[in-house]
Amino acid sequence: MANNKHNRLESLFANHAKALVRFLKRKVNSEQDAEDIAQNAFIRIQRLAEEGELENPKAYLYQTASNLAIDMLRREKLHQNYLQQTFSRDQLADEEYSSLTDYCTPERLLSARRDLDNLQQAMNELPLKCRQAFLLHRVKGLSYSEIAKEMSVSVSSVEKYILQALKHSRKLVTGEEKR
């Protein structure tokens, strides 16, 4: 009986191996993959044939091979998606790093430091009430009426103080006024 099963498998292999590989090659677009899948399908058929009788070994062989091909294509697709996500994440990280390094060049840092120094100088040169109004508005975020109440001056005076601070700062930052 075992010899009969062995002969049936050899016959199945001899009669269908080439056709099965052609069938699989159309699905997976690779002769090597098609041959590997066909071999795995025959191994599975052999195991089942040893356990019991198969009613239609050819149909089972093709169905098994087709399922193995689908599984392989799914794994490849998952792998490609993973690689694409990893590449996209790496590329995004590289772009962020690149833009950060472009943004923080020594020249830009030096220029920003000069602007900050000019603003500090402008603040130091302002009259006390003018500087106080400006800082309350820009740093603490107070409205003009809140500043007026805190400084015990009119809203109109606060507007004049802040406008004066802005004009003076702009002159120093843009270089209109020589030090």
Summarize pLDDT for 51-82 with one digit per residue, the tens: 666 778 888 889 999 999 999 889 888 888 87
CATH number of the domain encompassing residue 40? 1.10.1740
Structural domain including 156 reads 106-174
State how far the Cα of 34 lies from the Cα of 26, in Å rounded to an integer.
9
pLDDT at 179: 42
pTM of structure: 0.47
DSSP state letter for 120:
H
What are all long-range contacts of 64-69, with beta carbons under 8 Å and residues at least 24 apart?
Answer: 65/20, 65/23, 65/24, 65/37, 65/38, 65/40, 65/41, 66/23, 66/24, 66/27, 68/37, 68/40, 68/41, 69/24, 69/27, 69/28, 69/34, 69/37
- Say whether pLDDT at 19 is over 90: yes
CATH number of the domain encompassing residue 136? 1.10.10.10
Looking at the structure, tell me whether residues 32 and 115 fall in a common domain. no
Q: Which of 98, 116, 142 is the last residue of a domain?
A: 98
Per the structure, how many domains does the chain have? 2
